Amino acid sequence: MDSSADCQVILTTISEFYRISMSDSDEKIKTSLQTILKLWPDVLHAGNTATDDELFSLNVSRAVFTQIFAITLSKEFFNKDHLLIREIFFTLFSILTGYTHIFKENKSVYIESNVRLIIKMMTSVVSVVRFQHDDLTKPEEQNLLIAIREHIDSDDQCDSLSDGSISLIWNICDKTILIPTLLKAGYGRNILQWVEQRKTKFREEKIDAPIHILHNFLRHDDGIHELNKYNPLSIIEAVKFEPSVSDDDDYDLTIHLAMIRALLTDYDQIKQDTAKYPHKAINMLLQLSINAAKHEKCRYNGFHVSEPLTVLVKLFHNDEILHGILNKNETKPPTTIKSIIELFTTFLSKSYPKMAGDNDVLDNYTCVVIFNLFWILSNHERYHDSLRQSDTLIGLVKNAVVDPRRFVDTFMPRTMKSIYESASEILKNLDIEQH
């Protein structure tokens, strides 16, 4: 069979999916996407020998791929099928590993347009992929991550490939478990360079992407260790931003800069640096933590509850910051020690019992952070009565002491106590018997 015949077979196969719609069965939609995903490497290869008419038809076929992909993501079954989600992401990533040269020297508009589509698709699903520690560590996967990094580094024209790539990296590094993998691929100092060059290197809607990426890297101890080699605080202190037309933009950047500064600073320095963490920023972090904790998906304005809460727990080692925000804040509704205990005890009541069987690492880690929060509060006698009065909390703490799981996540900050350690210290501080 000649190449033209091959192309016609591919186009005929794709034509079978033109009529896929929302009304089709879940199984038909799922199978259609799996089939077209497996077919797409052939679609890319066919472009090498296709006639002009065939190339036009192959380009049109992307609309079919996009439609089936969008239908799948909109269906209720999608978010529940974690194996399918992984299959989609890693099939797309695998396709790209065969085209790393596009990030270095692009001579094909057809291939690049497909690469940009695949990057966009991966970006749209990465947030719901349940990654494992050894994901994206194969040589060909590392080579692709390196090629993407080098393309962003070298591009000063804000091209579409860089624009899509920075979005993908932004979303991948939100998965803290992958930070060591990205560091292995050379991501580190270049992120600080992106922060410095952000106003000239990236399109307007992506100007703050490097700051978000930097924050995500600092959520992992390995990221902190690597980036602290390059005096990152001086770069952050130099970040200037004009008041935005949107208060939300200013809010977002203020929050991120405060979190980055806190994550880069050790406890001893935080205890001396009260002035560097203004009451307004602490209030924002507290409000964000509260809003995210109340949300069904534990997220608010793009932040998972664990992100601002991790920073607050670190800052609360500074007694002045802790007592200051609990005594006077502008959260809505106003926050008290009682309301904090009630809110995060409710979160623990729902999340902690699921830790043994739930693979949601981020929710598990949030339980670790909350236990650390209650441990910090228990170090201050003024909060003892409020803590003791929560029978539900004390029950959870007692259970954690005898619970054999004693969960400690691998990307948990090394300075943070495990659930077992926190629970034991809480009972000791409150003078409550463990059994």
Token pair belonging to 193: 């360079």
- Indicate if 289 and 347 belong to the same structural domain: no
What value does the mean pLDDT take over residues 389-401? 95
Q: Is residue 11 a part of any domain in this protein? A: no
Looking at the structure of the chain, the number of domains it has is 2
Select the more confidently predicted residue: 398 or 250. Answer: 398
- Indicate if 313 and 352 belong to the same structural domain: no
Place of tokens 């809110």: 343
User: According to the model, what pLDDT value does residue 407 have?
Assistant: 55
Q: Does the pLDDT of residue 217 top 90, yes or no?
A: yes
Other beta carbons within 10 angstroms of residue 276's beta carbon come to 15
Q: Is residue 421 a part of any domain in this protein? A: yes
Q: Is residue 381 a part of any domain in this protein? A: yes
User: According to the model, what pLDDT value does residue 249 have?
Assistant: 56
Amino acid at 227: L
Report the C-alpha gap between 303 and 305 in whole angstroms.
Answer: 6
Place of tokens 């809505």: 332
**Alpha-carbon torsion 356, 357, 361, 362, what sign?**
negative
What value does the mean pLDDT take over residues 314-343? 95
Q: Is residue 150 a part of any domain in this protein? A: no
Q: Does the pLDDT of residue 158 top 60, yes or no?
A: yes
Per-residue pLDDT tens for 231-265? 999 999 898 765 544 456 557 788 999 999 999 99
Amino acid at 34: Q
Please give the residue range of the domain that contains residue 296: 241-327
With residue 317 as reference, give the H or E element that holds it: none
What value does the mean pLDDT take over residues 168-173? 98
- Indicate if 249 and 315 belong to the same structural domain: yes
User: According to the model, what pLDDT value does residue 245 have?
Assistant: 42
User: According to the model, what pLDDT value does residue 1 have?
Assistant: 44
Name all contacts of 387-395 with Cβ < 8 Å and 24+ positions apart: 387/341, 387/426, 387/430, 388/430, 388/432, 390/341, 390/342, 390/345, 392/345, 392/349, 393/341, 393/345, 393/348, 394/430, 394/432
State how far the alpha carbon of 279 is from the alpha carbons of 274, 322, 331, 345, 381, in Å: 9, 10, 12, 25, 23
pTM for the predicted model, two decimal places:
0.91
- Indicate if 319 and 342 belong to the same structural domain: no
Report the C-alpha gap between 54 and 112 in whole angstroms.
Answer: 17
101 in Cβ contact with 62 (< 8 Å): no
Q: Is residue 220 a part of any domain in this protein? A: no
User: According to the model, what pLDDT value does residue 297 have?
Assistant: 87
User: According to the model, what pLDDT value does residue 346 have?
Assistant: 95
Domain-terminating residue out of 327, 353, 376: 327
- Indicate if 265 and 315 belong to the same structural domain: yes
Q: Is residue 348 a part of any domain in this protein? A: yes
369 in Cβ contact with 416 (< 8 Å): yes
Per-residue pLDDT tens for 314-327? 999 999 999 999 99
Q: Does the pLDDT of residue 169 top 60, yes or no?
A: yes
Per-residue pLDDT tens for 94-116? 999 999 999 988 778 999 999 99
Q: Is residue 124 a part of any domain in this protein? A: no
Q: Is residue 148 a part of any domain in this protein? A: no
Per-residue pLDDT tens for 287-299? 999 999 999 889 9
Per-residue pLDDT tens for 62-97? 999 999 999 999 999 999 999 999 999 999 999 999
State how far the alpha carbon of 250 is from the alpha carbons of 206, 281, 343, in Å: 15, 11, 27
